[in-house]
Structure 1
Amino acid sequence: MQLANKIGTLLPWRNALLLFLWLAVWALGLLVEYAPHASVWFPVAGLTCAAMLVVGIRAVPAILIAAVIITFWTALHYDIDMSNRQLIEAGLLFGIAHIFPYYLGAVTLRKLSAVSKYNLPLFVVSFLVLAVGCSLLATAAVLSSLVFTGLMPAADVASTWLPFWIGDMAGVVVIAPMFASILLYVFPERKFNIHLVIGIHSKLASHHFKYKLSLTIVMLLVAMLIARYSGSSESAFAIFFLVIPHMWIACTETPFITVVSLALTSFLIALLVNLFGLMDNVMVYQFAINVIAANALFGLAVPALVASNNQLRLVASTDTLTRVASRSYLQQRADLEITRSLQQSEPLCLMVFDIDHFKQINDHYGHSIGDEVLRLACQHAQHLLRPADIIGRYGGDEFVVVLPNTAKEAVVAIGNRIIERLLQIELAEQLKVSASFGVAALQQGDNFRSLFERADAALYRAKQQGRSQVAWH
């Protein structure tokens, strides 16, 4: 009773839940063990990694107790003659050897995530690199502890370390992301919130997920049956075709559904390797689990990369002050529209305008008012333009509008309406906002430069004639 009370004090209910979860996941890995201390995958390594990442040092007591428990089971199962004290010491040493590498990896991953501002692509790369390194370090530490405590003959290390390492790595790559999400709901005081990286998504699958998962399982069964009955060792590599449906899932489902499907597939691979007697090719399947999972995790980063590229494209193509097209993007679009209009013999006009006496506005009212004048001028102009028209800031207070499939007379009317709107702007006492416009129509042999020069010449004439008007070339 005293021992139970001490454990209860040491392990609050959350840690007790972690203890039982750890033992349950370990038992799951035991189902697919094909040699002493070697399993197709070792899912509990993923749970330990997730616990260190989310819970931190507070998870250590639960995992240490679990390590002692499974050490007693190992001694009983393999008929190892050791005293209870020796088994407790061996279990604690094994637990420390198992935990410490993943603790180091979790601390490193938390710091890298914070430095990169929780960027998903960088997180995926960092996680995979650390999974390789930490699982290798854990393999070296655990095997050393097993040999040191007499739970494993030193002669077995040479044949065990590689499958041990790959099995641990598979457990981390496949299981850790899923448990990192689950543990957030168990431990409110977390060290790391993976949702800051992957975003807060629904845990529900899409309506089409059942078809994607069914296809994945069918492909898995076909690949395993081919390996079972073909009699060719090369047929084991058919399992790598599972990369295709898992990439499909990763790009179209939520991250949580992606990692759950990875966990299910990996467990089925490990289970069928045992059931179908495919132990001769077990390393192929171990590597396949890692490759499929790593590929799917990169798939999770694809939408983030696309969004990031779209954001960069938007920044490059948009003027930051007025939110109209930047000069470079304006010229690119103008060149395309001019080429298209010439090829299809369609009308096109270019309109250039700038704010009258803008320097005096800045000098008298301040640059903040001047900036607001530019923003409002663009807003009013955009309200009067069509979606197909392109307005961009050419420089300073000068703007260019490309109007495809529009005659000169219609463009002049649009310019006059913009002038009327600008005169209604009220930002400061006695501030009158107006603009002058120059218009040029596309001619055969024109390019953007020649068309702009004619419109700019028309703008100069509008200023000479008294400003706040539209002139054409």
Structure 2
Amino acid sequence: MGTKAPLQLLIFGSWLVAFGAAALLEYAPNASLWFPPAAVTFAAVMVLGLRALPVLWLGCLVVTLLADQIYQRGLAWPELLLAGLAFAITHTLAYAAVALVLRSRDDVLSPGAYRGNVTLFLMGGMLATGLSSALGGLSLAATGMTEFRELPALIPTWWIGDYAGLVTVAPLFAVLLTQLAEALEVTPRKRLEPLLGPRPWHALWPGAALKLLGLAALTLTILAIAVVFAAPFVLVLLLLACLPVQLWIARNESPLVTLLGVFGFTLLLAIATSATGLREQAPTLQFMVISVAIGSYLDLAADRRTERDTARP
């Protein structure tokens, strides 16, 4: 059965909302702590394959038109359409190349395959975000939406922001998309079935929810201390305190709770970077976001290996 309209609307709406979140939480022009549209694109192609591309292209075109209005570039319609087409191709090409490989893998429920999927996601995602940033920057310069002299500073900023958005949002969005697809009787490839975990959404309360709230409270407390006392070095405590808590959640709760913890931690830091005096600390906060995400996924993979070894006779 083909992909149904509600599923396509969800992808389109999620892509626009993700772009809006990145734009609203910018700490400098064209620079945000994360770029969640990269996650939406990656997850949509991984779950639905090439069926997701047309609506993703439409999203790229729409935000190109919006960006022209926001930054008042004043490009003519032919230039805008060309820029939107270039962005759509370079953006989806980079992420689809890795997502389709991950989608095609077999035996995803075995511990070894699960660890391989995690490695492919993390390493392949790094290459995909780098390629997308480089090609995207070059296409914008070629179509007149930016200057070539701005690319040496722009591309690395986009790269780390895209990767932060990818590793923190893509797995959770893929879970949501998979569940909706199954509810609509659209059969997805179950690439992230291991990340669903043994417990459904209603089982998050109360134990797991309290742990997630505790992580959020700890994060906000340390951020408040850093802002009130104007002491950026306090942010080191953020990683030292929150990473062990998140890894403890990953080890003792379902993978779904782990994904929610990573997403919540990232969202709080993105908001704080935009709304407070922490803009100059954005690279440090991005490093923390990526570290927490990677550490959590590797911990999940290690936990699967322990389960396999324990099950051996």
Displacement of 1:22 after TM fit? 1.2
Paired position in structure 1 for 2:160? 166
Paired position in structure 1 for 2:244? 244
Displacement of 1:209 after TM fit? 1.9
- CA gap of 1:52–1:200, structure 2 versus 1, over 3 A, is farther
Residue 25 of structure 2 is aligned to residue 32 of structure 1: yes
Q: Matched residues in 2 for 1:46 and 1:130: separation?
A: 13
Equivalent positions of 1:11-410 (< 5 A) are 12-114=5-107, 119-187=113-181, 188-196=186-194, 201-203=199-201, 204-240=203-239, 241-312=241-312, 314=313
Pick the structure with more strand per residue.
1
Displacement of 1:154 after TM fit? 1.5
Q: Matched residues in 2 for 1:115 and 1:262: separation?
A: 22
Pick the structure with more helix per residue.
2
SS in 1 for 2:27: strand
Query: In the alignment, is the contact (CA less than 8 A) between 2:251 and 2:300 conserved in 1?
Result: yes
Query: In the alignment, is the contact (CA less than 8 A) between 2:27 and 2:273 conserved in 1?
Result: no
SS in 1 for 2:204: coil
SS in 1 for 2:121: helix
Which letter maps to 1:163? T
Q: Matched residues in 2 for 1:299 and 1:115: separation?
A: 17
SS in 1 for 2:188: coil
Flag the structure with more relative contact order, 1 or 2, with Cα contacts below 8 A and sequence separation at least 6.
2
Q: Matched residues in 1 for 2:80 and 2:125: separation?
A: 29
Displacement of 1:283 after TM fit? 0.2
SS in 1 for 2:187: coil
Q: Matched residues in 2 for 1:75 and 1:283: separation?
A: 27
Query: In the alignment, is the contact (CA less than 8 A) between 1:205 and 1:253 conserved in 2?
Result: no
Paired position in structure 2 for 1:435? none
Displacement of 1:308 after TM fit? 1.1
Query: In the alignment, is the contact (CA less than 8 A) between 1:49 and 1:106 conserved in 2?
Result: yes
Query: In the alignment, is the contact (CA less than 8 A) between 2:273 and 2:282 conserved in 1?
Result: yes
Q: Matched residues in 2 for 1:220 and 1:185: separation?
A: 30
Q: Which structure 2 residue ranges, 5 or more long, are not aligned?
A: none
Query: In the alignment, is the contact (CA less than 8 A) between 1:11 and 1:62 conserved in 2?
Result: no
Displacement of 1:195 after TM fit? 0.8
Q: Which structure 1 residue ranges, 5 or more long, are not aligned?
A: 1-9, 315-473
Equivalent positions of 1:425-444 (< 5 A) are none
Tell me the TM-score normalised to structure 1 length: 0.61
Which letter maps to 1:222? T
Query: In the alignment, is the contact (CA less than 8 A) between 1:31 and 1:271 conserved in 2?
Result: no
- CA gap of 1:196–1:259, structure 2 versus 1, over 3 A, is closer
- 1:238-264, CA deviations, whole angstroms, 9 ceiling, x for partnerless residues? 221211111121112221222122112
- 1:239-296, CA deviations, whole angstroms, 9 ceiling, x for partnerless residues? 2121111112111222122212211221111101121121111000011110001111
Displacement of 1:214 after TM fit? 2.5
Q: Matched residues in 2 for 1:219 and 1:85: separation?
A: 50
Tell me the TM-score normalised to structure 2 length: 0.90
Q: Matched residues in 2 for 1:159 and 1:311: separation?
A: 51
- CA gap of 1:157–1:49, structure 2 versus 1, over 3 A, is same
Displacement of 1:172 after TM fit? 0.9
Which letter maps to 1:290? I
SS in 2 for 1:34: strand
Displacement of 1:146 after TM fit? 1.1
- CA gap of 1:107–1:21, structure 2 versus 1, over 3 A, is same
Q: Matched residues in 2 for 1:128 and 1:35: separation?
A: 26
Q: Matched residues in 1 for 2:50 and 2:102: separation?
A: 15
Q: Matched residues in 2 for 1:250 and 1:167: separation?
A: 24
- 1:183-218, CA deviations, whole angstroms, 9 ceiling, x for partnerless residues? 113332324441156555422315322331222122
- CA gap of 1:197–1:246, structure 2 versus 1, over 3 A, is closer
Larger Rg: 1
Aligned residues: 304
